[in-house]
Structure 1
Amino acid sequence: MAWMAWTWPTAIFFAVIALLLVIFSVLAIRYPETPRVGVLRIETTRGDRLFIALLGSAFINLAWLGLGAAPQWGALIVCLVYAAAVFRFV
């Protein structure tokens, strides 16, 4: 794996994604839910909303890198607000 730059931020990123998947799997087993319809007018579950939040956050970070010169911490704040909105309204 010498071809990839494994830094602490990279390891933390993948660890957080793995932890989220484990938490959401446990929640799905322990507290099953019925899909709900939000502003997108499609049925979504917790896992669907997590996927939408992660995908949207990736695009937010790419846009932040491509369009702005501000520190990347700003994109993290925008992504957290976006994820909260996805879990609340979608």
Structure 2
Amino acid sequence: MFEWMAWTLPVAVFFVCIALMLVGMTVWEIKSPTTVRRGFLPMETTRGDRLFIGLLSAAYVNLAFVGLSGKFAEWFSLDGDPSIWISFVLSMVLLVLVMRKG
């Protein structure tokens, strides 16, 4: 059923993190309803809005990294493609930034 997707450990960890974030945000919203606020994003957002924007940004970072990993190996004279864990860490840092300051 899932043969079409490259289910590697980083991909599985990424999707588990997303599922845990959704569960956590649901519980947080039930316990403490959100308020609208304005950060560096050019609009007023709620926690859910920032999570959505952060997840989209994280997905784009991962896709860009996968698309450019061959070029990174060429540019930096690496023996192989760089580890996908690098993009995972970068995307999670971006997600945290959007959630906290967005």
Change (3 A) 1:34 1:79: same
Q: Please, which runs of 5 or more residues in structure 2 have no aligned partner?
A: 70-80
Q: Please, which runs of 5 or more residues in structure 1 have no aligned partner?
A: none
Change (3 A) 1:56 1:25: same
**Does 2:16 correspond to 1:15?**
yes
Change (3 A) 1:41 1:11: closer
Any conservation in 1 of the 2:39–2:101 contact (CA below 8 Å)? Answer: yes
Corresponding letter in the other structure for 2:21: L
- Give the CA deviation at 1:4: 4.7
**Does 2:46 correspond to 1:34?**
no
Query: Which residue of the partner structure matches residue 62 of structure 1?
Result: 63
SS at match of 1:39: coil
Specify which of 73, 78, 88 is matched with residue 76 of structure 1.
88
Any conservation in 1 of the 2:14–2:88 contact (CA below 8 Å)? Answer: no
RMSD: 2.2
For CA contacts below 8 A with separation 6 or more, give which structure has more relative contact order. 2
- Give the CA deviation at 1:12: 4.4
Query: Which residue of the partner structure matches residue 75 of structure 2?
Result: none
Corresponding letter in the other structure for 2:48: G
**Does 2:92 correspond to 1:88?**
no
Query: Which residue of the partner structure matches residue 45 of structure 1?
Result: 46
Max radius of gyration: which structure?
2
- Figure out how many residues of one structure are paired with residues of the other and give that number: 90
Matched-pair identity in %: 42
Change (3 A) 1:8 1:81: closer
